[in-house]
Structure 1
Amino acid sequence: MTWMAQEPSPKRLTAAGWLRALLRGAVLVALLYGGLVLMLVLRLIERPLHGLNRPWTPYITQVVCRLTFPVLGLGYRVRGRPMEHIGAVVANHGSWLDIFALNACQTLYFVSKAEVARWPMIGWLARATGTVFIRRDPREAKLHQQLFEDRLRAGHHLLFFPEGTSTDTRRVLSFKPTLFAAFFSHGLERILQIQPVTLIYHPPPGEDVRFYGWWGEMGFGPHLLKVLAQRRQGSVEIVFHDPLDAAQFTSRKALALRSEEAVRAGLPYADETER
């Protein structure tokens, strides 16, 4: 499913904008791929010793993602604390920047659609950082559930976007309960916690309120270029809500609904959200 809405009209870049984009882009590429090389080298030692567990390399991802924001000129703020208990994180999804924002303040592994693995550059980074790829095929639901269970029991904090698509950053769509089924298998509900997280994007002064939103048929390249070229940037805010004990919910639907309510409550644009 792809969420659709009217897209902002593109602006023509000035010479100064192109220069900013080139400079920031060059620094960003060096940062990302420098971190990737370091991670792959360290993984050669980490994997034989720890197998599925990754006690070292996720911190490289965290540092690289945190440094991305000063490179872009974006403000970055965190409210609340990431949980340390075994479990998963669920958040609203509005932009490709979500990946950097959520990785910058905690150690986690994303759950993503299989198509992302084939994207140039992003796919390589996603595979290297331990992203879990799933196909939108009901016949593979049991396989996905087992995969999630294995990763959760290994102590990995998995990150889900239960809306199933990205929006314009101004609303929260209904959470799909399908992925929550893994939290109710083989007794996992007795030990797992789910932490809802709200991402709030504040646009640059004078820009469209949806400036950082990436949805529908928007191309990644043009959107990235727009963000890189922006002179005065806005900011992103990450709000960690109290973790939910899976054992306190009778079903995946009840847990999905409560998580959705928590994420929606943290978004300041309540009159613009939709169910």
Structure 2
Amino acid sequence: MRTTLAKLRLGLHLLHGLWIVAIHFPRMSQARQRDMTRTWSLKLLRLAGVRLVVHHDETRLEHGALVVGNHISWIDIYVINAWRPTPFVSKAEVRHWPIVGWLATRLGTVFIEREKRRDAKRTMHEMAERLAAGETMCVFPEGTTSDGLALLPFHANLFQSAVSAGCHVQPICLLYEDAQGRQTTAPAYIGDTSLAESLDTLLRSGPVTAHLYVGAPIEPAADRRSLSAQAHEAVAASLALMQSRVSPALERPNAVAGVIEAGESQQADDRDGDGAIEGSLRPRH
């Protein structure tokens, strides 16, 4: 009954999102659209039993950056949009998902058919143009989802967009934690799991914390393979750091992390023992 009620609330929230995008977005400024997308995404996370903790947010780039990170679940997109609304590069089949596909299209998602070489080139050129114009784009260079326990190899092709645009690359890393303080694979959308099954697993798993670690920007480079390697190293290091903090075999650090809630904007910093700065909007207890 609890899961059914949660799914109903999520469905109504998706319909509300459709209404906002169809009716109000055309009359809004881009800044207002981003604010609305962030607020809507935060509420979706709450309805799904997920709260967001952002680490090292002071390194965030606001314009003209290619954001890259690990990919675990369909909910990653809403976690990132709750942090900072960002157009995505997504597999072409997402375009045909009910409601979600339409919303993704209207929010500026670039869809790619990875198996088609010509389409990959088209996507790269479109991304480069938007990055050069000062937009921020997000791509998951693993090319697929994983359980989040380890990082898959990165595909270097789409890094060419950052090379062509001469822009920075911003690495980010996602990790999901359960109510017992352990890394959880409950949100993972992998293998033959359907979207409905993935949603059921997430809702039944209890409260989940989504950790998002913002890595230091990587300087523009002339070689996409070098950029890809640097980004992979940065994301892998962030994943290892966060895994050490949620491991039940280790004492959890007394660091302050940022829990983002809709409507909050106060910034605070805390430096923990490993020298990492965690940007916070409200202390996590």
Q: Tell me, yes or no, whether TM beats 0.5.
A: yes
> Is contact 2:21–2:103 with CA below 8 Å preserved after alignment?
no
Contact 2:14 2:99 (8 Å CA) reproduced: no
Runs of 5+ unmatched residues, structure 2: 245-285
Contact 1:205 1:234 in 2 (8 A): no
Shift of 1:146: 1.8
Hey, what's the Cα distance between the residues in 2 that align with 1:79 and 1:205?
20
Asked if 2 retains the 8 angstrom alpha-carbon contact of 1:24 and 1:228, the reply is: yes
1:188-240 CA distances to partner (integer Å, 9 max, x unpaired)?
21xx111000001113439984222211211111111122234x322110000
Q: Alignment identity in percent?
A: 31
Query: Which residue in 2 is equivalent to 1:131?
Result: 109
Distance 1:265 1:27 in 2: 37
Shift of 1:259: 0.4
Among 225, 237, 256, which residue is 1:265 paired with? Answer: 237
Please tell me whether residue 171 in structure 1 is matched to residue 150 in structure 2: yes
Q: In the alignment, is residue 36 of structure 1 matched against residue 11 of structure 2?
A: no
Name the CA distance, whole Å, in 2 between partners of 1:57 and 1:215.
Answer: 31
Cα gap change, 1:55 to 1:209, in 2 (>3 Å): closer
- Which aligned pairs between 1:1-40 and structure 2 lie closer than 5 A? 19-40=1-22
Tell me, what secondary structure is at the counterpart of 1:164? coil
Deviations 1:82-110 (A, max 9, x none): 31131110010011110111110102101
Structure 1 residues not aligned, in runs of 5+: 1-18, 271-275
Instruction: For 1:137-156, list aligned pairs within 5 A.
Output: 137-156=116-135
The number of equivalent residue pairs is 239
Counterpart amino acid of residue 257 in structure 1: A
Superposition pairs for residues 24-173 of structure 1, below 5 Å?
24-46=6-28, 54-81=30-57, 82-136=60-114, 137-173=116-152
Q: Distance in 1 between matches of 2:49 and 2:97?
A: 25
Contact 2:112-2:120 within 8 A present in 1 as well: no
Counterpart of 1:233 in structure 2 is: 207
Distance of 1:145 and 1:224 partners within structure 2? 31
Name which of structure 1's ranges 88-97 and 144-153 shifts more when overlaid on structure 2.
144-153
Q: Which has the higher contact order (CA 8 A, sep 6+)?
A: 1
Question: How many angstroms does 1:256 deviate by?
Answer: 0.4
Distance in 2, Cα, partners of 1:215 & 1:197:
20
